[in-house]
Amino acid sequence: MKKLTSIVLAVGLGGSLLLAGCSSNDNKTADGVNKMLDTTEQLSKAIDSGDQAKVKEVGPKLEDQWSSFEDDVKKDNKELYEKVEKYLDPTIAGSEAATLDKEALGTLNDQLTDALKELADKTK
């Protein structure tokens, strides 16, 4: 009986640790996605107002935010990882361009925002 109790406790503890680990990845991803969505919103406002200095300040932040959790997304959801990557790099490049192309950058930022929202729905 003592041996059975020990086994049950060990399995329960192991399962709890496993679930805690998964949860922390989900939380990390959810937090990262939310930060990126805040940034794409700031970027959208800067694009709409034609504030190139703000665009150049805000756009590159997306790369640092993404790099903090992208490996987890790549491992857990390759399709959405590729979708975010597809729009992320051109959005960052457009935000760093010498002249602001409001229409093109606005479209890219909107597509990136949509991909991030889809990822956010997956991590709920």
Position 65 confidence tier, pLDDT thresholds 50, 70, 90: very high
Rounded to whole angstroms, how far apart are CA atoms 111 and 67?
19
Position 124 confidence tier, pLDDT thresholds 50, 70, 90: confident
pLDDT at 18: 43
pLDDT tens digit sequence for 66-119: 999 999 999 999 999 999 999 999 999 999 999 999 999 999 999 999 999 999
Domains in the chain (CATH in brackets) are 28-122 (1.20.120)
**Region 32-45 average pLDDT:** 98
pLDDT at 16: 45
pLDDT at 26: 77
pLDDT at 6: 54
Within a 10 A sphere around the Cβ of 54, how many other Cβ atoms?
16
pLDDT tens digit sequence for 5-33: 556 555 554 444 444 444 456 789 999 99
Contacts of 103 (CB under 8 A, 6+ apart): none
> Among 87, 119, 117, which Cα is nearest to 104's?
87
**The model's pTM:** 0.79
